[in-house]
A and B are shown apart, each in its own frame.
Chain A
Amino acid sequence: MLTWMAWTWPTALVFIGIFSAMAVLIILEIKFPGGQERRGVLGLTTTRGDRLFISLLGSSYIFLLWLGLFGTPLWWPLALSIFGSAFCFWKV
């Protein structure tokens, strides 16, 4: 049934990752409502969901820029993305 979608394991894992992150956010929101809103270092008022969005968008840009400028392998941008996302959840 899903053959037309041409699934591969790596892309499936990406989506499983994103949907699990969203599921975690839902659980957190039920346990601690209010979205943990705060004003971060960038002067933006963000909730947990905003921080996940910024992390994902930022990571995709880190990977795209690295791929365009230096090509593979992508270990460095992976490290940068993890660091960036951690920073985002910690400070932004």
Chain B
Amino acid sequence: MKKQNQKAWFFVLPVLLLVAFNALIPMMTVVNYSVQETFGNNLFFWQGLDWFENILRSERFHAALGRQFLFTGLILLIEVPLGVIVALSMPRKGFWVSICLVTMALPMLIPWNVVGAMWNIFTLPDIGLVGYFMNHVVGIDYNMTQDPFAAWVTVIVMDVWHWTSLVVLLSYAGLVSIPEAYYQAAKIDGASNWAVFRHIQLPKMKSVLTIAILLRFMDSFNIYTEPFVLTGGGPGNSTTLLSIDLVKIALGQFDLGPAAAMSLIYFAITLLVSWLFYTLMTKDNTN
């Protein structure tokens, strides 16, 4: 029998260590916290599953979870079709390609807290460009610091501005990989633009779109910095998404136990949705 070379394991080792220290060990600690109560000083008291029960039945958690799903659903509904449309209308060759690509990539290069601060100043009712324009030129009563609806619109527009590019770039990569022969064949058959999109472009983009949607789902479901800097979760609790609420419980109130239980439930939801989506999208490929 030929002896197998096992050296490859050594190359995986650094990644394994990294994952252990930045994911696995903190995660285990969170699990430990979730069944205990602490008042600091590294003293812990056994609490059992009380925190889980409290969180699962708390109205506050249900409300934050509802807002989180609404937010993620809305931005996916906007960003994915918009990203595909923009990618379809971008040039495939020539001088403009690199200009389009760089322009598209720009919003993603800006740090999240800067995006939040930018949009905060941009949309403040009296001094911000958008805020002033809406209130004094268009004449719409727009105040994202007081009106929950305006706050929601602002948070969503900000996310669309920041992250649609990701969908665009991934879809564009999928589109570029389609050989010219497919389009020629479609032209000979007299296929309409819609038919070309539906039967050539969309199937070819399926795998990159799956990745794009997964990334956008996970990122938006765990979003913290941008809405926190923009609205601080307000007005009231109207834009307090799950992670903002979690940080309030963990660091604001220093309730590590309930916060740990909440993060585990949060994690379970993210894991299930991502797994379900990925499994359903790749089901046909494996068979």
**A residues at B contact (CB < 8 Å):** 3-8, 10-11, 14-15, 39, 43-45, 53, 57, 60-61, 64, 67-68, 71-72, 74
Contact = CB atoms under 8 A, between A and B. Distances in A.
B286 A8 contact: no
A3 B43 CA distance: 9
Interface stretch (B29-37, B131-139, B225-233): B29-37
B56 A8 contact: no
Contacts of B48: 72
The interface residues of chain B, by DSSP majority, are classed as helix
A11 B46 CA distance: 11
Given A14-B31, A57-B271, A67-B52, A45 B287 contact: yes
A67 B42 contact: no
Given A57-B272, A60-B268, A67-B49, A5 B29 contact: yes
A8 B28 CA distance: 11
Bin chain B's interface residue count.
20 to 34
A5 B52 CA distance: 19
Contacts of B33: 6
Contacts of B281: none
Contacts of B28: 5, 11, 15
B35 A10 contact: yes
B57 interface: yes
B287 A6 contact: no
Contact of B279 (A3, A44, A64, A67): A44
Given A5-B28, A15-B31, 14 more contacts: A6-B29, A7-B32, A8-B36, A8-B44, A10-B35, A15-B28, A43-B283, A53-B275, A57-B275, A64-B52, A64-B268, A67-B49, A67-B52, A72-B53
B100 interface: no
Contacts of B29: 4-6
B63 interface: no
Interface string B244-287: 00000000000000000000010010011001000100010011
B78 to A, nearest CB: 30
Nearest to B268: A60
Contacts of B268: 57, 60-61, 64
A5 B271 CA distance: 23
Given A57-B275, A68-B56, A3 B283 contact: no
Given A57-B275, A67-B49, A4 B42 contact: yes
Interface of B: 25, 28-29, 31-33, 35-36, 38, 42, 44, 46, 48-49, 52-53, 56-57, 265, 268, 271-272, 275, 279, 283, 286-287
26 contacts: A4-B29, A4-B42, A6-B32, A6-B36, A8-B35, A10-B35, A11-B28, A11-B31, A11-B32, A14-B31, A15-B28, A43-B287, A44-B279, A45-B286, A53-B275, A57-B268, A57-B271, A61-B268, A64-B52, A64-B265, A68-B53, A68-B57, A71-B53, A72-B48, A72-B49, A72-B53
Nearest to B265: A64
A61 B46 CA distance: 23
Contact of A44 (B53, B272, B283): B283
A8 B33 CA distance: 9
